[in-house]
Amino acid sequence: MDDVTVTIRPDRRTEIRNMPFEGKGVGYKILESMIGASRRGQVEYDLSTRTWSVSRSHSNAVILGLADRYDRVKVIQHGGVEKCVEACWKGNPETAWECKCSCAGRNHGSGSPYKVTVSDGGVGGALSVQASAPREFYVP
């Protein structure tokens, strides 16, 4: 059986996949009790994708509740921005561990900015950004 998986994306509902079937309507009751649902519609199920969803503000309660019920939950967290300044990407790659840029040395001395340059000037020169790769981890 696949791990119960919770996917979190900015500005979207939190999705829950691979939740074991425990009987008709039981999934709603399980999730509603985890979030303290006070009205119908706070927990949704999409039959076409077999995905449950709750409001993003309930992510923590759902993750902890599912981990308690099923022993472990895989969490996929989207969002975040990586930043790097010109002085960094034009720096010496052999001094990446000394990097003081937001990239923490990942792009140090690469010779190229990230995907999008959002500013032409500043203390470290131009600023470039790119979306971070989704972060995956397990609870507990």
Tell me whether residue 67 is in a domain: yes
Is 73 found in the same domain as 105? no
Q: Please choose, from the candidates 15, 17, 4, 11, the residue with its C-alpha nearest in 3D space to the C-alpha of residue 79.
A: 11
pLDDT at 3 over 80: yes
- Please give the Cα distance from 29 to 128 (Å, whole number): 46
What is the per-residue pLDDT across 5-61, written as a single tens digit (0 to 9) for each?
999 999 999 999 999 999 999 999 999 999 999 888 999 999 999 999 999 999 999
Mark whether 54 and 88 lie in a shared domain: no
pLDDT (tens digit per residue) in 95-118? 898 888 888 899 999 999 999 999
Number of domains observed in the structure of the chain: 2
Question: Is 140 part of any domain?
Answer: no
On whether both 66 and 116 belong to a single domain, the answer is no
Q: Are 32 and 42 in contact (CB under 8 A)?
A: yes
Same-domain check for residues 61 and 107: no
Q: In what order do the strands lie in the sheet with 127-131?
A: 81-85, 127-131, 116-119
Tell me the two tokens of residue 70: 């099923």
Same domain flag for 128 and 113: yes
Residues 61 and 91 in one domain: no
| The predicted structure's pLDDT at residue 83 | 93
Q: Do both 35 and 63 map to the same domain?
A: yes
Look at residue 138 and tell me if it is in a domain: no
pLDDT of residue 120: 84
Structural domain of 116: 81-132
pLDDT given for residue 73 in this prediction: 98
Same domain, 61 and 103: no
pLDDT digits (tens, 9 = 90+) for 57-89: 999 999 999 999 999 999 999 998 999 999 999
Residues 57 and 99 in one domain: no
**DSSP-assigned states of every residue in 2-53:** PPEEEEE-TTSPEEEE-PPP-STTHHHHHHHHHHT--STTSEEEETTTTEEE
Q: Does residue 1 register a pLDDT over 80?
A: no
pLDDT of the residue at 85: 94
